[in-house]
Amino acid sequence: MSARNWSLLLALGLVLSLVFFCFPWFKTNEHVAIWLEGVALVAIFGLDFFERKSQERERVEQHKETLEALRISRDQAQAAIRAADAAKKSADIAAALHRPLIGLHHFQPTGDINSLYWSFNSTIRNYGTLPANSVAVVTEFFIDGALRYEHRDTESIQIFPSNQVDQVMGFNLAEDEKGAIPSGRKILGVKIRVRYQQEDGRKFEYFAQGNYKQQRIDIADTSTREIT
């Protein structure tokens, strides 16, 4: 029972004692006085019960408000973390793109596929924001997985941003390869490796590979990595 209810009980006891003392009728009808005291006690205990229920509801509401505040704080913290991660990723992407970025812009066969001599036109492009220095291109041709021809360019090419370099190359087929490659009985594969560096000395290698299909080179795999 709360201090407030104890005070009420004490005050009620004093009032009832005074009333019973001042009115002799209650002395001759003690059962009425006892009944009134019982009613007063029940009322006080009832008041205490409802007050406890009210305090319990207030505690539950305060607990809910605390949990909601914690949830909001957690959500805000997670949002701040996501924003920081997104900012870091944007900065990393911007830093990664602020360099030379060599890629294969075009690589297709030219000429007559019924001829023994097959030629190819290749275009290497700088998609980055800085010049690519000492660019070296190695192109390898495979027939059924065996190296058939290799074309190399010296490390003297410089490609500025948004610029490109065209290359023409070719090799002779054997008589049985001339018809077998277009028909798919033999597989003509191509691998292109481009090594280059930026002004601060960092070096990179671009790689692409594909196969000849339906009178074109289908590039299926490309990647760029930093090398030491």
Show me where the domains of the chain are located.
3-95, 102-227
The H or E element spanning position 169 is strand 164-172
Chain center to CA of 45: 60
List of residues 6+ apart from 75 with CB closer than 8 A? none
Name the least confident of 43-52, 78-87, 169-178, 192-201: 43-52
Residue-by-residue DSSP string for 19-71: HHHH-THHHHTHHHHHHHHHHHHHHHHHHHHHHHHHHHHHHHHHHHHHHHHHH
**Residue 2 CB coordination number (10 Å):** 12
Q: Which fold has domain 102-227?
A: Immunoglobulin-like (2.60.40)
Report which of 205, 195, 208, 181 is spatially closest to residue 109, judged by C-alpha positions: 181
Q: Rounded to the nearest 10 degrees, what angle do helices 3-22 and 30-97 cross at?
A: 170
Token couple for 100? 């030379």
Number of residues that this document lists for the chain: 228
Global pTM reads 0.59
At 27, the pLDDT band (50, 70, 90 cuts) reads low
pLDDT exceeds 70 at position 7? no
Which amino acid type is present at position 118?
Answer: W
Higher pLDDT, 78 or 47: 78
- pLDDT tens digits for range 172-215: 999 889 889 998 899 999 999 999 999 989 999 999 999 999 88
Q: How far is CA 126 from CA 82, 91, 222, in A?
A: 33, 21, 15
Average pLDDT, rounded, for the chain: 83
Counting Cα atoms < 13 Å in the Cβ hemisphere of 183 gives 7
Query: With contact defined as beta carbons under 8 Å apart, do 170 and 151 qualify?
Result: no
